Chains A and B, each alone.
Chain A
């Protein structure tokens, strides 16, 4: 049962990711990326990370892709579809990408023989996922949590400075 769903979601994620990098129309690419995010969120659910699955849909598929769509509207004019979409070294690049994928898969596969099975009574899913997640976030990871707010502040100021120039023009 779980096997079936895993293969369904994994195949969906990989196929839609392939479509993201192969479609001509930028808007289609962005929409297939949303589909990839949904499949990855489904795999997160299989891994008992329900909270992250929700955040994945909210933040990635909801917010970040909205931003991408805005930029595509801002930037995309029909004639950009006509120009050549790929570099000359396309085949070399594809071969290198494939090689890298095989390498990473080989290394990961080789090193991960050890913890093949799950220890009994996993505390990861013991209480609600969100609750145990929150406890860890607000106690052990308190400092990174506060630093994240500084990161968001920096991003906000940077983006406003960059975009403000365009508004004033």
Chain B
């Protein structure tokens, strides 16, 4: 570890992160590989079916996705970006004071218009009424 850090100190805090990723990936690959070496391999149709002791599958699993999930995903992406903008604001809140608060309220206010639009259009209703 010390040898690692000596040459380049600015990346120092990231060495544990990097080691973590390396160990995690190696663990996954090595486990799969060892399991492949050790386990017996005797397949038969019953065993290969998705649920060995359940109901037989009725249709292909890759059925078309319900489109209502998709509109939720769109709203998630856009509000996720909004959350990314909130983060530096939250870090700086003490310094910015009232000025920063008003700035962010305008930002959120404009996005709330979109939220209410989605609400009014029924994009958030799971089942259509009537």
Contact = CB atoms under 8 A, between A and B. Distances in A.
Direct A–B touching, Cβ under 8 Å: yes
Interface of A: 1-2, 5, 45-46, 48, 51, 55, 58-59, 62-64, 66-67, 70-71, 73-74, 76-78, 125, 128, 130-131, 133-135, 137-138, 142, 145-146, 148-150, 152-153, 155-157, 159-160, 163-164, 166-167
Nearest to A137: B88
Contacts of B82: 149, 152
A78 B60 CA distance: 10
Give the size category of B's interface with A.
35 or more
Nearest to A159: B74
Contacts of B8: 1-2
> Is chain A's interface secondary structure helix, strand, loop, or mixed overall?
helix
Contact of B111 (A59, A74, A77, A149): A149
Contact of A152 (B68, B78, B88): B78
A163 B66 CA distance: 12
Interface of B: 4, 7-8, 10-11, 14, 18, 60, 62, 64-65, 67-71, 73-78, 80-82, 84-85, 87-89, 91-92, 95-96, 100, 103, 106-108, 110-111, 113-115, 117-118, 121-123, 128
B111 A66 contact: no
A153 B111 contact: yes
B117 A156 contact: yes
